[in-house]
Chain A
């Protein structure tokens, strides 16, 4: 028999207890530190983006009294639309600015003065005249887009105290702006252009509408392709396919595809869809095709997980009633799995929305000023727009980049929120 002195179980346990508690406390601390670090980075990221981008939602306008001089617009007085269209509206603005600042002289100085107003201002005047020819001959107070430099200065993003040669706005320009501001002719308004216009070389005229529509068309194609195909694949693999070496191989490949770098899908899209099938470059159609390739594995994996989570008792119940396999899946399993599948699909779509690399390969990185109107129009997408703007040096583009990121993030949060709501809403208990 064992002759060792029997130690009391109480003392043995107590001896190790302190160590166990310490280990647990330590682990809690690790967790807390990890979470706080994560939160700090998220807050930093948001703070950085918002502090840089919030000003892009406002835009400076200059209000000038414009005399719609009939001698300039319509010297012959026929109100011929063709004549009205081709009139020199910039001259009206120039005249108005000269009237405001009568002491400015010299070609170069005058050009600086004229550049206070955005280059698209004459077009605004033209459309106003074409809409309402009655205003010819009258004097109207017209609100015009300020140039990006003025806008940036007014928003306080250019330091007036540094040396003139180091800043993009000259001393005399600052003086003019100050004068306009003093007379209340500078107005800050909500930047509708950001949401209503396509890309532009002039920051004050650049918007994300084109990229948003491009993203929308691309995602429509992606969803229409990847969701039905993904669901069908998941159902077939999970419910119908025999379990053998081939299906194992397919499963491994699908899991691998989910981890393939997205740029590879872009190369594939370039080679297959554009070079082989001859589909148009830069088109949301091709972008959608490429992104569906990328989203498919995600949807298939989520779909299969959703299907396996349907309890086998439901399947047995249906089969026991004499339902065929398709009826079992269609009537019972799929309705229970669809919320999970939709959640997976939405998360996949959110990923596709944020994807830029594969789209660079198929030409969606081009400068496209028009808002796309169909699936085959040249377009770009929001993340690529961000990439393009992030490359540009103007301060006005920097803030627009951040604003575009905010819009993108808002859509992401919206989509992920939708996924959570769907999951909560349609989650069934059995």
Chain B
């Protein structure tokens, strides 16, 4: 995938550098700031999203420190790391879901194609139509299955007329591998489906608006292994058309579905690289400890 390589920041620097602390912080009140350099190549050739020096603060607590990362077009990239490491926080930066948390503040630069998504000229509505999201807990609307999928296209005015909507709903459900199971009961509430079906319904709902990027926040954590397998299969198929960012607690899942893997630890992006390399030959001590199960 990534042929030309620009190696950046390969040095291991596990102790906080005083110079960084002084230069990158305007306020001495920020707590929990101990930045670590990222190991591995953060760039890709044809990036879909480019993130540079992203910091996230919850009130005065720094939850994400100087994260720089590219997300390639039509790749599946997984974020792994122990609880509270900032992987979900970073994911939520990518479609500005953190905006809903009043105490949350994001600095740095995140670009989707050429647009800085934190720029004032970008409306979150437009951004979220381009960057869809699937949540940890399946959260279909308490409406019919049909309405769940039709909701996005309807509010964005993407279709004209009932026939077109029907087609789009069917197509989205088909792509989410759910059509066969729900075709005969489109008017039943989405909440009546099983957990795995609900999650696929949420994926169908997300792809109905034809986003460019799909963010998945631990999409399988509430599901049994069979439902998980189905979702993973689906992610593999969706990769052809979409860029997928997936946060997962399961390292096996990351290994199965993603091409690149990023390891987060205490708000730092510790290591990023090809999934195979991360799992077979981690270069950072923390990554190695984590994937070999010494903690996490």
Contact = CB atoms under 8 A, between A and B. Distances in A.
Interface string B195-219: 0000000100110010000000000
B128 A331 contact: no
A325 to B, nearest CB: 9
A246 interface: no
A327 B128 CA distance: 14
Given A243-B102, A321-B128, A322-B128, 10 more contacts: A316-B97, A316-B100, A316-B139, A319-B100, A320-B95, A322-B124, A323-B125, A331-B151, A331-B155, A332-B141
A170 interface: no
Interface in A296-333: 311, 313-324, 327, 331-332
Interface in B112-148: 124-129, 132-133, 135, 137, 139-142
A201 interface: no
A327 B125 CA distance: 11
Interface string A331-362: 11000100000000000000000000000000
Nearest to B147: A331
Interface of B: 95, 97, 100, 102, 124-129, 132-133, 135, 137, 139-142, 151-152, 155-156, 191, 202, 205-206, 209
Q: Which of A314, A315, A321, A428 has the most CB of B within 10 A?
A: A321
Is chain B's binding surface mostly helix, strand, loop or mixed? helix
A242 B102 contact: yes
Contacts of B124: 322
Interface in A16-61: none
Given A322-B129, A331-B151, A317 B142 contact: no
B97 A319 contact: yes
Given A243-B102, A320-B97, A321-B155, A428 B135 contact: no
Nearest to B95: A320
Is chain A's binding surface mostly helix, strand, loop or mixed? helix
Given A243-B102, A322-B156, A317 B140 contact: yes
B155 A320 contact: no
Contacts of A323: 125, 151, 155
A317 B139 contact: yes
A320 B142 contact: no
Contact of A429 (B126, B156, B191, B206): B191
A321 B151 contact: yes
A184 B38 CA distance: 107
Contacts of B127: 322
A317 B209 CA distance: 14
B149 to A, nearest CB: 10
A327 B155 CA distance: 8
A314 B142 contact: yes
B97 A321 contact: no
B102 A321 contact: no
A430 interface: yes
A316 B142 contact: no
A320 B128 contact: yes
Contacts of B102: 242-243
B137 A320 contact: no
A309 to B, nearest CB: 13
Q: Which of A311, A317, A318 has the most CB of B within 10 A?
A: A317
Contact of B135 (A316, A324, A429): A316
Nearest to A324: B125
A372 to B, nearest CB: 44
B128 to A, nearest CB: 4
Closest 5 CB pairs of A and B: A320-B133, A322-B129, A322-B128, A313-B139, A317-B139
Interface in A125-146: none
A426 to B, nearest CB: 11
